[in-house]
Structure 1
Amino acid sequence: MNRDETEHLHTSVLVAPASEKRRLRKQRRQAAARLQDEQRWAERAAARAKWEVERAERRATTYLPAAGEAGPAALRTPGRLRLPKHQDTSATLAGQYPFLAEAGLGSQGVFVGQDLYSGGSFVYDPWVLYQRGLITAPNVVLAGIVGSGKSSLAKSLYTRSIPFGRRVYVPGDPKGEHTAVAEAVGGKAIILGHGLRNRLNPLDEGLRPSGLADAEWTTQVASRRRDLIGALAGTVLDRALSPLEHTAIDLALSDAVRSANVPILPMVVDRILNPQPVDDADGRLAEDGRLVGHALRRLVAGDLQGLFDGPSTVRFDPSLPMVSLDLSRVAENSTLISVLMTCSSAWMESALTDPNGGQRWVIYDEAWRLMQYPALLRRMDAQWRLARHFGIANMLIFHKLSDLDNVGDQGTAMRALASSLLANAETRIIYRQEPDQLGTTAGALGLTGTEKSLLPGLGTGQGLWRIKDRSFVVQHQLHPAELALFDTTARMTGNASRFTESDEPSSPLNAPHTVGELS
């Protein structure tokens, strides 16, 4: 076989299979097209058969006329049926619609009384609610007119908390209401006033928190003493101190601390009015501190003497279940009350900073009187802001929210501080208010129109509880023993009991719905 024949053979071998493949592909495409056509025809035939079956079923189905059957078979009355409206009390309807009642705050905490909407028990504890995330601020504002029951509620809340491990501090009790309560629960009431032997040294070191290093403790004591002396001077002068006056106090205090193991206020006063030559080389220091010196002199030699001019004869014991500062002997002297409150607040602050101090109620009764003094208001504001850090629940007790007008004019710094106390309290308890106070109360506490309308009709011991965004109307209930202890109307009633034997309940859960005062 020559070369030409070989090339021709190779060409035929390569070309012939390609044409065969094209022919086979064409045959497969034609077969697939025929199969698709057959499937489409089969689907159309099945759909048509289904449609014919459905049409036959529709034709075989009979329907009632749109107006219903005629005659007796209609089973209808000749006229339109009208049922009379049914009216009843919410107490009765609550049985038919139980889901309308508020679920409450749970069963953990202190029993207060009865939820008048649900009929169940009402229990409250700011520490429990904080742990459950229902509130973010444990502070409480309590307002109500005289005789509405707010004082008894406050006393019930803190005394019933003591068995749960809480302690109670009352840094100022202008009416002496809490003295008997403190003694009854195993606590102590510190009574200060003219003619008594009790003395209160503002320069006491106070309680030393556990685990605090010596250097840090020394710095804290020095800082607290400077702040306290400045606050006392500012309270008596009724103005802020100048930098020169602060310098005069600082130098006099440092000299008094160096010269005595237990420095007392007369030492500081003497060194402000007669500074050491080494501190007053140019003779200007005595003049700069003259007004401050004479203001503090009132506390040791003037009309306010007898309470701060020597070492303390009473001791603030934070381990007691309750400590109260009874100011009823000096209630007529507003300046002396503010000074005593300033000293007791410094006492209390040292106890509050103790990390092992536990959880404590701090009660500010007659708050409208205390908030008139800038130094006290600033201390209260600081304690409210640090309530969660200290583990405390502050309670402010008012008669009416218009008492805030005594703090300062709208827009002033003092009024802003007072308003911030309300803003940092997510529990707001409002007892009966006079009609002319409704607008002020609703505006200050952010009440709704429905909540505002409830206030004038609240009975004795009944209060509107506004806890964050939830509202309750609660009837406070007292045991007869509590009623006798909390009574603040003994002089008006001649110590007469307001219950007969048949009226006395056997337990707090069965106590009467109407409780006695209760200012």
Structure 2
Amino acid sequence: MTGQEEGRLHTSVLVGPNGERRKHRKARRQSAAQVEADARQTRKAEAKAKWEAEQAEKRNTVYLPAAGEPGPGALRTPGRFRLPRHQDTSATLAGQYPFLAEAGLGSSGVFVGQDLYSGGSFVFDPWELYRRGIITAPNIVLAGIVGSGKSSLAKSLYTRSLPFGRRVYVPGDPKGEHTPVAEAVGGRAIVLGHGLRNRLNPLDEGHRPSTVSDAEWGSQVAARRRDLIGALAETVLDRALSPLEHTAIDLALNDAVRTSEVPILPMIVDRILAPSREDDADGRLAEDGRLVGHALRRLVAGDLQGLFDGPSTVRFDPSLPMVSLDLSRVAENSTLISVLMTCSSAWMESALSDPNGGQRFVIYDEAWRLMQYPALLRRMDAQWRLARHFGISNMLVFHKLSDLDNVGDAGTAMRALASSLLANAEVRIVYRQEPDQLGSTALALGLTGTEQKLLPSLGTGQGLWRIKDRSFVVQHQLHPAELAAFDTTARMTSDSRRFTNPDAASGIPNVPSEAR
């Protein structure tokens, strides 16, 4: 290496890439470190000064003693401070404890029992709920298996409504359960059956509303008699009538009314089977009405005789608090039950049309038996659709909602009518159901999964109340006097008391079974 090259190498070591010498770089770094150190010292001094100022301020501040001021300035009583218990309505306290339970239906109505979710009292009245706009249809559907307490609930609802001016009609009581209740509340139970003296003339005029004129009343009576005879014939024949058969009934009825102010059914039968020469000029009327005449003859001279073959010995009094038609004596004959129900419905319709009749419960117990007949089902459907017009609340009582599926075949008019009864009832009360019925019940009522799971676990007297879109679980509560009057298990429990001590007759002491 030459001397010139060594000089250039020595110069590159002392001078950096940008032409700055090494000693200048060192001085610059030292200056920057000094500036940073000075800044740290300044911050420490400022923090120390601030802390000293705070400490001085604390030392100069005067605080109250830990036990408070002495004497009256303490603002304390010798004892502990206590506040009285505060009570308020659930509407007010809902702001403090929201979303705990349903607010309920209010206090207007009859007491039913206890809302098991809120713990409060549960009251119900279909007319009051309609007045407040909560429901638009006052009809009720009540379903529950045997022994769940549905019959006691129905009786409790209508008997507790009687003091408020409501009346009760039971157009058909197949088991006679409502008879003692009617007698207990000052009403009347009309008992019909073979071997009894009571007669029911289907052609009675019935109750006349006070606002109906003579001409209107005559027209209504004629139309009701004509419809009733046709419904009775359809029930016995188990089919719809032909136009020729309707003509035979009309002419026979007109002829009977000309000769008697209040005709009876045997007159109609005689005139259908043997019409007058004026009505049957060509001799074909007797043949046209032959089947209808023989069908109605069963009610006056056949296996259904003894109930409709003479003037009425009982009277339907709409002024009574309760009227029930006891069909327990004819429970074995389903056709006769349907005929009696049809006649009682005609009686009842004239009373329901009275605008001064007031508000009434109409109870259809054991409805699964009543809906098997088209004529009777059509009458029930008409009364359900006109419930608001008549001011009535129909109650349909049966075991399970799947009973509606047994009415006629799928797609038939009868099935449609049975389904419309459920659709026109916005109050659905479901008591305990068997597990195999949960699916159909939930589908028919649109129950949620939680509501569906509740049904098999409900106890006696506990029911799921679906009132339009709202749900309640209610424990029905009975007074001891109601419990005795509404008991439907007397025959199952009365004889068992006789055998409480089976050893008494033999003189053996009554020793508990656990000790034997």
CA distance in 1, matches of 2:318, 2:496: 36
Matching of residues 276-425 of structure 1 within 5 Å: 276-425=276-425
CA distance in 2, matches of 1:458, 1:197: 45
1:123 lines up with 2:123 in the alignment: yes
Matching of residues 115-264 of structure 1 within 5 Å: 115-264=115-264
CA distance in 2, matches of 1:262, 1:487: 41
Which SS does the other structure have where 2:393 is aligned?
strand
Deviation at 1:378, TM superposition (A): 0.3
Give CA-to-partner distance per residue, 1:13-53, whole Å, 9 cap, x none: xxxxxxxxxxxxxxxxxxxxxxxxxxxxxxxxxxxxxxxxx
Which SS does the other structure have where 1:410 is aligned?
coil
Task: Look up the match of 1:486.
Answer: 486
RMSD: 1.4
Deviation at 1:406, TM superposition (A): 2.3
Deviation at 1:199, TM superposition (A): 0.1
Which SS does the other structure have where 2:137 is aligned?
coil
CA distance in 1, matches of 2:306, 2:225: 20
Matching of residues 442-481 of structure 1 within 5 Å: 442-481=442-481
1:490–1:496 contact (8 Å) kept in structure 2? no
Which SS does the other structure have where 1:114 is aligned?
strand
Which SS does the other structure have where 1:100 is aligned?
coil
CA distance in 2, matches of 1:483, 1:474: 17
CA distance in 1, matches of 2:102, 2:424: 25
Structure-2 change in CA distance of 1:434 and 1:235 (3 Å): same
Matched residue type, 2:189 = A
Matching of residues 64-75 of structure 1 within 5 Å: none
Deviation at 1:98, TM superposition (A): 5.4
Unaligned runs of 5+ in 2: 1-46, 48-93, 498-516
Percent identity for Structure 1 against Structure 2 = 89
CA distance in 2, matches of 1:228, 1:149: 35
Rg larger in 1 or in 2? Answer: 2
CA distance in 1, matches of 2:404, 2:137: 21
Deviation at 1:405, TM superposition (A): 2.5
CA distance in 2, matches of 1:338, 1:327: 10
CA distance in 2, matches of 1:316, 1:446: 40
CA distance in 1, matches of 2:95, 2:177: 42
Give CA-to-partner distance per residue, 1:437-488, whole Å, 9 cap, x none: 0111111122222211110110000000000000000000001100000000
Task: Look up the match of 1:427.
Answer: 427
Deviation at 1:344, TM superposition (A): 0.1
Deviation at 1:389, TM superposition (A): 0.5
CA distance in 2, matches of 1:177, 1:96: 48
Which SS does the other structure have where 1:300 is aligned?
coil
Give CA-to-partner distance per residue, 1:397-419, whole Å, 9 cap, x none: 01011111321122111000000
1:199–1:308 contact (8 Å) kept in structure 2? yes
1:207–1:351 contact (8 Å) kept in structure 2? yes
Aligned pair count reads 405
Deviation at 1:129, TM superposition (A): 0.5
1:269–1:297 contact (8 Å) kept in structure 2? yes
Deviation at 1:495, TM superposition (A): 7.0
Length-normalised TM-score, structure 2: 0.77
Which SS does the other structure have where 1:256 is aligned?
helix
Task: Look up the match of 2:31.
Answer: none
Which SS does the other structure have where 1:142 is aligned?
strand
CA distance in 2, matches of 1:282, 1:381: 40
Matched residue type, 1:366 = E
Length-normalised TM-score, structure 1: 0.77
CA distance in 1, matches of 2:354, 2:313: 23
Matched residue type, 1:207 = H
Matched residue type, 2:281 = A
Which SS does the other structure have where 1:432 is aligned?
coil
Structure-2 change in CA distance of 1:348 and 1:173 (3 Å): same
Which SS does the other structure have where 2:240 is aligned?
coil
Unaligned runs of 5+ in 1: 1-61, 63-93, 498-519
Deviation at 1:99, TM superposition (A): 3.7
Deviation at 1:136, TM superposition (A): 0.4
**Following superposition, which runs of at least 4 residues in structure 1 exceed 6 angstroms of deviation?**
none
CA distance in 2, matches of 1:448, 1:301: 55
1:342–1:376 contact (8 Å) kept in structure 2? yes
Deviation larger for 354-363 or 403-412: 403-412
Deviation at 1:262, TM superposition (A): 1.8
Which SS does the other structure have where 1:350 is aligned?
helix
